[in-house]
Structure 1
Amino acid sequence: MNLLIRTLVSRQSPLLICRRQLATEKHRRAFRSSDIMDKLRSSMPSSPRTNNQRSFGPINERNVILGIIAANGLVFATWKFSYANLRSNQDQRLLWFMTKNFMVSWDGVVRDKRIWTLLTSAFSHFDLTHFLINNLVLYSFGPLVLNYIGLKAFFELFIYSAVGCSLAHILYQKFYDRKPSLPAVGASGVTMGMTMLYAFIRPFDSVLLFFIIPMPVIVAVGAFVAYDLYRAVTHRQGNIGSAGHLGGALAGTLYYLLKIRGRF
């Protein structure tokens, strides 16, 4: 335990993945989501709900997304406080609690039976840049998806994408990369699931690749999925958890095919 805590505080650990591996100090500073929505920005306004979707009453799309962002912010702030508490008071308890409950790995889920981390890790961010980018994506794209599929379906998609991302990561690390103790954090799987589903529903909506190049969302999403697949198969993930991205994308695809198709 002590070794793990010291490694976390040093911020030089090769043991951390934010749906990506953090092998060096430079990578840690660059700790950010590289999933599709970090590169995409929708140019389309929110569309009206279809008639078969029930009203949310006082709950609207923005409030739901802001609630998720607030939960992400609380976890992020707790990580920061736990580091500060260790440095100033030599108190490891909070940081150890966070590592056990907000990071996902094969060893944690299978050996230590911390199954809840398949979901809780999706709310967890260490780095400010990574936190801001993922939440910007949720704020920009989440309402569009929620508006089309409804509140219940949105929460289902959120859970399935987060868990799908975590499962893909731990299975990849156990059986392909042979690093079962390598943990992951981040909302990349959720944003991948949302982006993939939206690409099926509105494939020809225009997005700006790298904020510059306009193209249909289905083309941009497909390109990034192919890139993640290449990185995962060739062991070239670096500090990016491409396997987790693919898990989130697969969850979004399956949810569309099994639950959403035919509603629009």
Structure 2
Amino acid sequence: MAWRSCAVLLRLTGKDVLRSSVRAGRWPHSLQQRCGFRKATRKPESRRGEEELGPLHTESPAPLTPSSSPRSFGRLVRPLVFTMGFTGCSFGSAAIWQYESLKSRVQTYFDEIRADWLEKLRPQKRGDVRKEINQWWYSLSEGQRTVTGIIAANALVFCCWRIPSLQRSMIKYFTANPASKTLCAPMLLSTFSHFSFFHMAANMYVLWSFSSSAVSMLGREQFVAVYLSAGVVSTFVSYVCKVATGRLGPSLGASGAIMAVLAAVCTKMPEAKLAIIFLPMYTFTAANALKAIMAVDSAGVLLGWRFFDHAAHLGGSMFGMWYILFGHELIWKNREPFVKLWHELRTRGGPGGPGGGVV
């Protein structure tokens, strides 16, 4: 059962952090998860060391003015605007996606009937790989099929981290750091970024486990909008906490978005039973699990724990709770005017437009 496989991994969804306290300019062999980032005080001992260390220092500009100081809250204006704009675009795109899906459902139904008819006429091939893959794909739940693309994107980015020539760009665009010159794009891209395989595997396992419940509750379009928006919102909360405390540094991982999904499911189904994967005999309610997780993350923020990015976890959890309690009513249920506008733009001048037939 999906619920029974996740609890032990909830604390493993922290975001990795890159540290520059490396020796001779080499990449660290192990990375802490969302802790502070401090530059090495030792100078490179060779030209080769300087070239290898370079990617970790690409965000070290000339002396900053007071208005552009890394600890200035003025630097968070653009991330705030980006967060609001991206969230609006995510839900708008999800509404259009749902409209187009409903519009094509009838056509898809007839296509499937025609395909089944042709399949019966066509001689069957034993060991048809394509048929076996299709059978496996359709045996998955809608939620599992929905998150397959997200998992594939995370795996692709993980592979990119292994390519030395891409590391400079990966640090710039796939790690979120309020002290960086690039602030907005990493808020989204870092949600798909993992440097450690175990970190990625833990995050994707939790996402896979909760996907069926979350998608059946929200629908695939709304789920994707919530997931992407939560990733950006949680990163913004992390930005605010880092600037307020002065503990600046890059971080990455899908934990904020996954915590939003987990919190949404636990808020919607508070009496559902959860269990620790290695201790299935001990069960507890989803509501109690969420309270415990948020209590730990709140303590981490207040006490300055630096192994996980507790601010991002807490931001994702709060966004998931808010969306179930208020956001669904405020955003998703008020999408009708936007969908009508899209319908008018979609059909204007086409078969359903002036002088055409009815779609």
Fold agreement, TM-score > 0.5:
yes
Match of 1:195 in 2: 262
Kept in 2, the 8 Å contact 1:119–1:163? The answer is yes
Other structure's SS at 1:104 match: coil
* Selected match of 1:259 from 323, 327, 344: 327
Q: Does 1:80 align with 2:162?
A: yes
Structure 1 residue 219 displacement after superposition = 0.4
Q: Does 1:135 align with 2:204?
A: yes
- Determine the C-alpha separation between the residues in 1 that align with 2:266 and 2:193: 26
Other structure's SS at 1:106 match: coil
CA deviations over 1:134-185 (Å, ceiling 9, x no partner):
0001111122101110122111211221012111111111112x123x0110
* Selected match of 1:205 from 272, 280, 286: 272
* Selected match of 1:245 from 307, 313, 333: 313
Match of 2:167 in 1: 95
* Selected match of 2:217 from 126, 137, 148: 148
- Determine the C-alpha separation between the residues in 2 that align with 1:222 and 1:126: 29
Kept in 2, the 8 Å contact 1:193–1:253? The answer is yes
Match of 1:43 in 2: none
Other structure's SS at 1:208 match: strand
- Determine the C-alpha separation between the residues in 2 that align with 1:5 and 1:63: 41
Structure 1 residue 6 displacement after superposition = 6.2
Structure 1 residue 18 displacement after superposition = 3.8
Structure 1 residue 20 displacement after superposition = 4.2
Kept in 2, the 8 Å contact 1:5–1:96? The answer is no
1:96-175 → structure 2 map (5 Å cutoff): 96-108=168-180, 112-175=181-244
Other structure's SS at 1:107 match: coil
Q: 1:171 to 1:9 in 2, by over 3 A?
A: farther
Kept in 1, the 8 Å contact 2:173–2:182? The answer is no
Match of 2:152 in 1: 70
* Selected match of 2:253 from 186, 189, 193: 186
- Percent of aligned pairs sharing the same letter: 25
Q: 1:6 to 1:170 in 2, by over 3 A?
A: same
Q: Which has more radius of gyration? A: 2
Other structure's SS at 1:226 match: helix
Kept in 1, the 8 Å contact 2:260–2:318? The answer is yes
Kept in 1, the 8 Å contact 2:36–2:247? The answer is no
* Selected match of 2:286 from 209, 214, 217: 217
Aligned-pair RMSD on alpha carbons? 2.9
Q: 1:202 to 1:167 in 2, by over 3 A?
A: same
Farther off after superposition, 65-74 or 252-261: 252-261
TM-score (normalizing by structure 1) = 0.72
Amino acid at match of 1:199: C
TM-score (normalizing by structure 2) = 0.54
Structure 1 residue 238 displacement after superposition = 2.9
Amino acid at match of 1:68: I
Kept in 2, the 8 Å contact 1:17–1:184? The answer is no
Amino acid at match of 2:215: L
- Determine the C-alpha separation between the residues in 2 that align with 1:17 and 1:153: 33
Kept in 1, the 8 Å contact 2:255–2:313? The answer is yes
Q: 1:102 to 1:184 in 2, by over 3 A?
A: same
- Determine the C-alpha separation between the residues in 2 that align with 1:186 and 1:152: 22
Kept in 1, the 8 Å contact 2:259–2:320? The answer is yes
User: Unpaired segments of 5 or more residues in structure 1?
Assistant: 24-52, 83-92
Other structure's SS at 1:126 match: coil
- Determine the C-alpha separation between the residues in 2 that align with 1:164 and 1:215: 29
Amino acid at match of 1:63: R
**Number of residues paired by the alignment?**
214
- Determine the C-alpha separation between the residues in 2 that align with 1:21 and 1:143: 35
